Chains A and B, each alone.
Chain A
Amino acid sequence: MIYLDNSATTKPFPEVMDSFVAVATNYFGNPSSLHELGRKAERLLMQAREQVATLLSVKPNEIIFTSGGTEANNLAIKGVAFQYQKRGKHIITTAIEHPSVIEPCRQLEELGFEVTYLPVNAHGLVEVETLKQALRDDTILVSIMHVNNEVGAIQPIEQIGKLLQRYPKAMFHVDHVQGVTKVPLDMKNAHVDLCTMSAHKFHSLRGAGILYVRNGVRLSPLLAGGGQEWQIRSGTENVAAIVAMAKALRLSMEAYERHSERLWELKERWFEALRNIDGIEIHTPVKYSAPHIIHFSLDGLKSEVFVHELAKQQIFVSTTSACSSKKRAPSKTLLAMGVEPKRAESSIRISLSWENTLEEIPVVVRAMKEAIQKLQGVER
């Protein structure tokens, strides 16, 4: 098997699975329970929070555990919108965000908020100048992803953060789901107020995510109940998944740092190999893109069929982002970048992890060429 769909989800580390099983088996107590088992669970939660905070260079009380990236994005966006709506009802985001950012924004539009969707340039990048022009006196939130999940473009978060320093009313949320562990982001330097991360994108399990909430930022909770996570996110804490996530974050950061050079080389070699295939056009920008995402399109071939063809040989790639691919719509990021709809419909994403190797490239390329040949025969 060659797994090239790491932006959809990643394979958990065996050590992370061990932690999950150990915690779920031995420390199943509810962290709010008074007895010893509860105390131990609470302790685990506390230690996980401290470890996550240390790894991200923030404070433990700035970490909110959620059920995943979608919840964290929803909490950040709606939480800010409802909390600060008296200050204004204008939100700025981009045309290339993940659905878990776009859809909450659409919901807010229905509730009377106004949302500006910033365009991107041909490289998939938001221009700071465009943002500057969109900012208004009643802007309360700017939500911009760090690494785009479809093409891997890295947005100029630090420059945006600096610009927003001059707009104290506007909170700055960053969807860091694709970036964390692969493309470093310093929350303090970039003046980020809220930041989303998801466990299963860095070799842990589904069911846990992180929302960084800078001290001083208040959120209106989405889930009301027992008051866990400082009243911001009620619900019994998923201790096993959270401990596993803390461990995975450490292991991933170590792994990606160790393999950083190799991963960049890997991407370079993928670029070279893909450029040599007739009809393929690469959409991932050469500059300002993450080391692990490569997005390209096949000249007119249906990408879905191509994915199935490769899957027959145990090679797993994806069409657009996994969350959008079921809708069979062409990649909205590509459309926003000005790619022709026809081309965008034949787009394929390869996403790597530190476990991928150079040796896989020729194998996949051969399979791709065969698939293209076969499909061209059929479709003509």
Chain B
Amino acid sequence: MRYDRILIRYGEMSTKGKNRNRFVVRLKRNIQKKLKAFPNIKIEYMRDRMYILLNGEPHEEIMERLQTVFGIQSFSLAMKCENDIEQIKTTALAAVQQVDGKTFKVSAKRIDKQFPIGSNELNHTLGSHILRNTNHLTVNVHEPDIDVRVEVRKDGTYVTCHDIPGAGGLPVGTSGKAMLMLSGGIDSPVAGYLAMKRGLEIEAVHFFSPPFTSERAKQKVVDLAKKLTRFGGKIRLHIVPFTDIQQTIHQQVPDGYSLISSRRMMLKITDMLRKKYNGLAIVTGESLGQVASQTLESMFVINDVTTTPVLRPLVSMDKTEIIAIAKKIDTLDISILPYEDCCTIFTPSAPKTRPKREKVVHYESFIDLEPLLQAAVANTETIIIDEEFTAEKEFEQLF
């Protein structure tokens, strides 16, 4: 007898009342997409848990992929049998024998009260059955290596031995859509990851200023977006040509204010794209006080161009915490590649750390930026990226 299914426990979404069904259906869809390489699996779902029936597909690979799906609290390999004590004994024994460990305990739960044997008696019966039929195991009820969980439910009895923590959070897409400003640095991919963890679907926006920023910088952003697709499925990446705007600002706005003004235009364009693609928020990787544009004064002046919610998941984090997450989601190595991006090239020698809103508005009033903004949006290139995305189709035959 082998493990034939994976049991999935929902996270906080099981507290979401009437919305729950929507959450569960979305989670199922996200899992299905994630596991589309395994055509034989079947997903069964109920109000408080989900089962993936393996039908012969390899559980190791499936479990590895499940760890990147938001909305899963934990999951375990499981076996199912009929509500019959002899069958339950056999199943529990088989389940224990297929995992490593020296000590165990049985935690039985009789949810189906029609079943004649109570939880305590089940613990005892199954525990002695396992002890009698194995020779390397002893009981330890406090800190067992293997916790044999037996649940007698209406539709059958489930046995699991080992819980694996899931990614937590909410299923991507259940909280709506937001635009992520993706620069190529360390912070913005982490912000995107955290946004997706709260159930947001994201589209990424990147500002590209050729020839001041290179193809490599753009490539880097594509690579970063691709890393994020592991958690969020398909991601639309909008590459906005920003050279004209940046040069215009650079020529017209005094040095100390040019950075702030560029930031304002970026936010404006992102907001225009948000409207175009029906998003409801903008996500940035800003954290308070890191650099000149991230003082509260700067944030205030930049944010002034829109009333759309700007979500800043990193606002309270230290750089070390951000780096730790970047490592975990495997974006750090890409982020630290030393290519010029839109943030670094036009950086003035002494940007204002306490900019005034009136001043920047005044400077901007001398230039007609609106047509430039419209043109930037119109000429934006959109790339749809998924986990298998390769930018270089021409390389395919080479590998």
Determine whether the beta carbon of B333 is less than 8 Å from that of A61.
yes
Chain A residues contacting B333 (CB-CB under 8 Å) are 60-61
Determine whether the beta carbon of B392 is less than 8 Å from that of A40.
yes
Determine whether the beta carbon of A44 is less than 8 Å from that of B215.
no
Determine whether the beta carbon of B399 is less than 8 Å from that of A39.
no
CB distance from A51 to the nearest CB of B (A): 6
Total A-B contacts with CB atoms under 8 angstroms apart: 36
Which residue, B392, B395, B397, B398, has most C-beta atoms of chain A within 10 A?
Answer: B398
The CA-CA distance from A22 to B216 in the complex, in Å, is 22
A side interface size, CB within 8 A: 20
The CA-CA distance from A43 to B392 in the complex, in Å, is 8
Chain A residues contacting B214 (CB-CB under 8 Å) are 34, 39
The CA-CA distance from A36 to B214 in the complex, in Å, is 9
The CA-CA distance from A40 to B395 in the complex, in Å, is 9
Chain A residues contacting B215 (CB-CB under 8 Å) are 36, 39
Chain A residue with the shortest CB-CB distance to B339? A34
Chain B residues contacting A61 (CB-CB under 8 Å) are 333
A243 in the interface (beta carbon within 8 A): yes
Determine whether the beta carbon of B392 is less than 8 Å from that of A243.
no
CB distance from A65 to the nearest CB of B (A): 15
Chain B residues contacting A250 (CB-CB under 8 Å) are 399
Determine whether the beta carbon of A43 is less than 8 Å from that of B219.
yes
Q: Which of A42, A60, A243 contacts B398 (CB 8 A)?
A: A243
The CA-CA distance from A60 to B391 in the complex, in Å, is 18
Given known A-B contacts A39-B216, A39-B219, A61-B333, A22 and B392 have beta carbons under 8 A apart: no
A233 in the interface (beta carbon within 8 A): no
A192 in the interface (beta carbon within 8 A): no
Interface residues of A in 1-52 (CB under 8 A from B): 18-19, 22-23, 34, 36, 39-40, 42-44, 47-48, 51
Determine whether the beta carbon of A44 is less than 8 Å from that of B398.
yes
Chain B residue with the shortest CB-CB distance to A43? B392
B side interface size, CB within 8 A: 12
CB distance from B5 to the nearest CB of A (A): 26
CB distance from B331 to the nearest CB of A (A): 13
Chain B residue with the shortest CB-CB distance to A23? B398
A90 in the interface (beta carbon within 8 A): no
CB distance from B142 to the nearest CB of A (A): 27
The CA-CA distance from A47 to B214 in the complex, in Å, is 19
Given known A-B contacts A34-B214, A43-B392, A246 and B219 have beta carbons under 8 A apart: no
Determine whether the beta carbon of B216 is less than 8 Å from that of A44.
no
A247 in the interface (beta carbon within 8 A): yes
Determine whether the beta carbon of A22 is less than 8 Å from that of B219.
no
Write 26 A-B pairs (CB below 8 A) sorted by A numbering: A19-B397, A19-B398, A19-B399, A22-B397, A22-B398, A23-B398, A34-B214, A36-B215, A39-B214, A39-B215, A39-B216, A39-B219, A40-B392, A42-B216, A43-B219, A43-B391, A43-B392, A43-B395, A44-B395, A47-B390, A47-B392, A47-B395, A47-B399, A243-B399, A246-B399, A250-B399
Known: A22-B397, A60-B333; 15 extra A-B contacts, CB below 8 A, are A18-B397, A19-B398, A19-B399, A39-B214, A39-B216, A39-B219, A40-B392, A43-B219, A47-B390, A47-B392, A47-B395, A47-B399, A51-B399, A243-B399, A247-B398
Residues of A in contact with B (beta carbons under 8 Å apart) = 18-19, 22-23, 34, 36, 39-40, 42-44, 47-48, 51, 60-61, 243, 246-247, 250
